[in-house]
Chain A
Amino acid sequence: MSVKLNALHSDSYIEVSQYRDQHFKGNRYEQEKLLKQSNTLYVGNLSFYTTEEQVHELFAKCGDVKRIIIGLDKVKKTACGFCFVEYYTRGDAENAMRFVNGTRLDDRIIRTDWDAGFKEGRQYGRGKSGGQVRDEYRQDYDPARGGYGKLAQQQRSTEARNTF
């Protein structure tokens, strides 16, 4: 009787994405296994000013939060726009993927994705300048994420120097 109709049990919001952490210690199979069991979410596109308290308030709507680790600029040790949210159970994390991913925190649409689990060191941005990689190369101006991307900032200051 308990027929599982694939077409009727779609739960696409909780599926594992294509992203794989290049720094993961282990093979693809191990990473995938951890992602499928994980209670931890990566949260991206945060403002640099978004606090742990704001993250907690939002994500606690899906269940008890075990811990939050705010992502830091490796050099400045200040928030650089991402964080990890770990729940006590996977079911709560799934609800966050279904109902918080793609909604706003601090006026910004945030994005959540499965994470294989926090390890010391993973709280730091991996961009050359210390922040996230995406902030190295983006061309737009985002006041909540340090203004222009790092490369664009350098280009601008080069231009400015050349102009004067």
Chain B
Amino acid sequence: MSRRRHSDDSDGGQAHKRRRTSEPIEIEDRLESLICRVGEKSTSSLESNLEGLAGVLEADLPNYKNKILRILCAVARLLPEKLTVYTTLVGLLNARNYNFGGEFVEAMIRQLKETLKNNFYNEAVYLVRFLSDLVNCHVIAAPSMVAMFENFISVTQEEDVPQVRLDWFVYVVLSCLPWVGKELYEKKDVEMDRLLSQIEGYLKRRVKTHVPMLQVWTAEKPHPQEEYLDCLWAQIQKLKKDRWQERHILRPYIAFDSVLCEALQHNLPPFTPPGHMPDAQYPMPRVIFRMFDYTDAPEGPVMPGSHSVERFVIEENLHCIIKTHWRERKTCAAQLLSYPGKNKIPLNYHIVEVIFGELFQLPSPPHIDVMYTSLLIELCKLQPGSLPQVLAQATEMLYMRLDTMNTSCMDRFINWFAHHLSNFQFRWSWDDWADCLTVDLDKPKPKFVKEVLEKSMRLSYHQRIVDIVPATFSALIPADPIFTFKYEDETASSLPGYPTSVTVSNAIKNRASNEEILAILKEVPNPNQEDDDDEGEAFNPLKIDVFLQTLLHLAAKSFSHSFSALGKFHEILKTLTESDEGKLHILKVVYDVWRNHPQMIAVLVDKMVRTQIVDCAAVANWLFSQDMAHEFTRLFIWEILHSTIRKMNKHVQKIQKELEEAKEKLEKQQNKRVTSQRDSGDDEDMEKNSEDEEGQLEEQIERLQEKVESAQSEQKNLFLVIFQRFIMLLTEHLVRCETGSVDISTPWYKNCIERLQQVFLMHHVTIQQYMGTLENLLFTAELDHHILAVYQQFCALQL
């Protein structure tokens, strides 16, 4: 029984699909394959491959024109990193068959309209860029391209629309200019100058409140974190100054100039940009991530400057490669490393910078964090002599700049570094970071190292961590993750809960029933009360403490043991935590016993939320409580909070989906009844059954509707609780500093305000639903401007 290992296959191992023997399907697959693979490593030159392919496609046009059109449109949209390869191909086809060229342009315009209608703005950029490069291939006449650009820029005159809409149209035009600026300027310089001047005017007046929220570092040095449109504008300005001389883009069409310039060109049909729709989702603004410049690559080719258009093109193409191949890390790494023109640039540096740029992107990375870890590992495997060194250099640089790094980005840096190290036997030159031992432990550098070691321990074990760091780092080593049992032995015998703990422990070991255990617990005195209440039902913190500590102690061996314990005694736990105080206290006890094992705390809290022993609001209140204030800046606190919010969101989504499905079912049922009535006439029984079913569905829908409303109410309440607590804590701090004339910028403050930002950013989709309530109840004008600024920056992200 051999298991085929996918990781062994060099090309990622595509499964063999059983082909039907009918020929047209085979030919269509072959056409797809030919077109998709052109430009990849080959024994022949790219030019001869394109020439050959153009010949093959031209011959197939009579029978497969539509298929070829569809494939070419698809690669234009999905393989932007090979833009110029495909525009050249289309250019050659157009030279051989003018009508086909015209039909392709029309198909592209149709596709562009569809893409915009469906909110695929990033893909729409690639389509427009493709069209603009077709000018270079003599497929599209330059004046008609300029006209399209003019229509796009006229959007900036619109009023009462989101700024992000106007941004997009400006971005599209600017991002085409590296490819086609020269040609357009040669043909229509007056119009282009006017266009650029309009763009400049727009950029000057646009609002940039959102930028601080998206920056990875708060410092301007060594590299400013520029807003993406500002950076692109600077790059285009420089390109213009250089008279549109651009030498990085691979342009296969140049070799075919003699053929292409004989071709007749098409005019783009006038394209009216679609109007703004309320449900449109324009891309969010971005900040350009830079961590390297020409001083960082010690030998070899020089890194293009931050405002060079080469830098823009390289970064675009590398992002596109990741977007295409992220699911297959070996292919992705190989494609990144075989970037055309790699000999003229310090490619490893660009790759590492682009990958970290995505990993640290705010609000969130384009792909799941762990993808970047596995991609970097593959890259190290493929370039063992050079990439690990660049990665180490990058890590060092990121460490050096921790003091001004955004907290969310630091979280990702911590997780990435620990996971990466765990794949390389935790080998690292910790001594190089000895400076972190000379400052307070709450400062970013020692905090970072501490969190990395904690995560590393989770992937290994305590002694391993002790072994890998120098002895001088002992203060940063995580605690041994062992249980802290209050009622451990006779030394605790004076504690009021001790006798009951022993009894309960024996009862559990002897498989006593829930009733028996509850009876034992009834005897526990209630420190909150003077007289006995009649049933002993009131909130009794000692009862919770004794039972839970004892239970979790018996189950401390592993996660599974603890989950099993929670499951077995679910009834008792539900009884003990009926009140809000009870829920809060159970969380407190979990922390008390497992404070050295944050990972265990997180999984137990998760389980208790899922089995409804505690609710989400209780978790939020607990995390913000005074008891947890000393842990407030630790990573595990925020992991628990965000996990809790996500569970709440998923719960709401689940019920909404059930409601949608029930509504669809009802509609189907109603349609069925109508058609069956029409078809088979009146059948009283059938009609009654049908009506009964509909009645049941309607009831179900009503119940689900209530469930949805109730869930949404709980969700809104959760966010209110969280934001309220943030506001209280931050206001307290700000007032205290003001009255004491102390600088507000303590490490605690930076952490807290950035954690508030993080809540907005990580859950922006959900929070947008509740903006009205938030603005009316919490983020009012009376709020301290430091706190209000966070809210305003958040609002600016989609305005």
Say if A and B assemble together.
yes
Q: Is the CB of A101 within 8 A of B603?
A: no
Contacts of B78 in A (CB 8 A): 5, 8
- Chain B residues bordering chain A, tally (CB within 8 A): 61
Query: Quick one: which of A8, A17, A56, A68 contacts B6, CB cutoff 8 A?
Result: A17
Q: Is the CB of B559 within 8 A of A57?
A: no
Q: Is the CB of B1 within 8 A of A101?
A: no
Q: Is the CB of A8 within 8 A of B36?
A: yes
A79 CB → nearest B CB, Å: 11
- One of B321-329, B343-351, B569-577, B693-701 at the interface: B321-329
B652 CB → nearest A CB, Å: 15
B589 CB → nearest A CB, Å: 21
Q: Is the CB of A18 within 8 A of B4?
A: yes
Q: Is the CB of A18 within 8 A of B3?
A: yes
The verdict on A64 contacting chain B, using a C-beta distance below 8 Å, is yes
Q: In residues 630-657 of chain B, which contact A (Cβ within 8 Å)?
A: 643, 646
A100 to B7, CA, bound (A): 11
Question: 1/0 per position for A64-82, CB-CB distance to B under 8 A?
Answer: 1001111000000000000
Q: Is the CB of B606 within 8 A of A64?
A: yes
Q: Is the CB of B599 within 8 A of A18?
A: no
Contacts of A53 in B (CB 8 A): 458, 558-559, 599-600
A15 to B9, CA, bound (A): 13
A54 to B643, CA, bound (A): 19
Q: Is the CB of B370 within 8 A of A3?
A: no
Evaluate whether A99 and B559 lie within 8 angstroms (CB atoms) in the complex, with A12-B14, A54-B459 already known: no
Question: 1/0 per position for B101-121, CB-CB distance to A under 8 A?
Answer: 000000000110011000000
Q: Is the CB of B3 within 8 A of A17?
A: yes
Contacts of B79 in A (CB 8 A): 8
Query: Quick one: which of B17, B36, B371 contacts A99, CB cutoff 8 A?
Result: B371
Contacts of A69 in B (CB 8 A): 560
Q: Is the CB of A17 within 8 A of B4?
A: yes
Evaluate whether A104 and B423 lie within 8 angstroms (CB atoms) in the complex, with A12-B13, A53-B559 already known: yes
The verdict on A1 contacting chain B, using a C-beta distance below 8 Å, is yes
B53 CB → nearest A CB, Å: 14
Q: Is the CB of A99 within 8 A of B459?
A: no
Q: Is the CB of B327 within 8 A of A62?
A: no
A5 to B370, CA, bound (A): 27
Q: Is the CB of B327 within 8 A of A7?
A: no
The verdict on B267 contacting chain A, using a C-beta distance below 8 Å, is no
The verdict on A95 contacting chain B, using a C-beta distance below 8 Å, is yes
The verdict on A140 contacting chain B, using a C-beta distance below 8 Å, is no
The verdict on A102 contacting chain B, using a C-beta distance below 8 Å, is yes
Question: 1/0 per position for A23-56, CB-CB distance to B under 8 A?
Answer: 0000000000000000000000000000111101
Could you pull out 23 A-B pairs where Cβ atoms are within 8 angstroms?
A1-B114, A3-B70, A5-B32, A8-B74, A10-B14, A10-B328, A11-B327, A12-B6, A12-B9, A17-B4, A51-B558, A52-B559, A57-B459, A64-B643, A95-B370, A98-B327, A98-B374, A101-B6, A102-B7, A103-B374, A106-B459, A111-B7, A113-B3
A-B pairs with lowest CB-CB distance, top 6:
A102-B7, A7-B36, A12-B12, A57-B458, A99-B374, A61-B370
